[in-house]
Amino acid sequence: MNIRDEMQKLGPLASTGVALADYSEAIAGGGKFQLSGNRWVMRPDNFVTLEPHWKRTTNVAISLRGNPAEFAAMPELPISAGMAGYTECKVESPTQLAAAAFYIRHAHEIYGRGRGRSPKGQKVIET
C-alpha cells in the first residue's frame, strides 16, 4: 500500500488527501512518504506527516515542523501545538486545501533553516 491508496479511502475527501500528498512530495526534492505506525512520514526530510482517518470520522491529520508561533494561522484551518517542535491541524473539507498547502510549504522552509534557527513568525500581507 502507498499513501495514495490510503487517501482513496477518504471518500469525498480523497482528492484533497491525494493533493496534499502530491504537493508535499513535489516540494520535498525527491522525498517520499513512508508509513510509520498510522502516519505517513515524509522521508528523508521529516517536515510533514499525514494521517488519514476514515473509519469513525473523515479527515487528514497533519503534523508540521515548527511551533505554532512560527505560522500565520489561517482562519479556515486552525492550528495547535503538537509534539515538541511541531504544529498540528486537521483537514476536514476540500475548502481547507489551500491553507494546508500554505502550512506545508512553510514547514518545509522551517525544516530547511534547521534546529538552530531563530523562530520567526510568519506574516501574511493582504493586498
pLDDT at 121: 57
Peptide bond into 44 cis (omega under 30): yes
- Summarised one tens digit per residue, pLDDT across range 109-118 is 999 877 655 5
3-state secondary structure of 114: coil
Domains defined along the chain, listed by start: 3-116 (3.30.1460)
C-alpha span between 78 and 69 (Å, rounded):
13
- The pLDDT of residue 122 is 56
Sheet holding 59-65, edge to edge: 32-36, 39-43, 48-53, 59-65, 86-91, 80-81
Looking at the whole model, is its pTM more than 0.85? yes
**50 has pLDDT over 80:** yes
| pLDDT band with cut points at 50, 70 and 90 for residue 85 | confident
Res. 21: pLDDT tops 80: yes
Polymer length in residues for the chain: 127
Could you tell me which residue, 84 or 34, shows the higher pLDDT? 34
pLDDT above 90: residue 123: no
Mean pLDDT of 59-87: 94
Helix (H, G, I), strand (E, B) or coil at 57: coil
* Residue 115: predicted pLDDT: 64
Q: What is the mean pLDDT of residues 56-67?
A: 96
Q: Is the dihedral of CA 63, 81, 71, 91 positive or negative?
A: positive
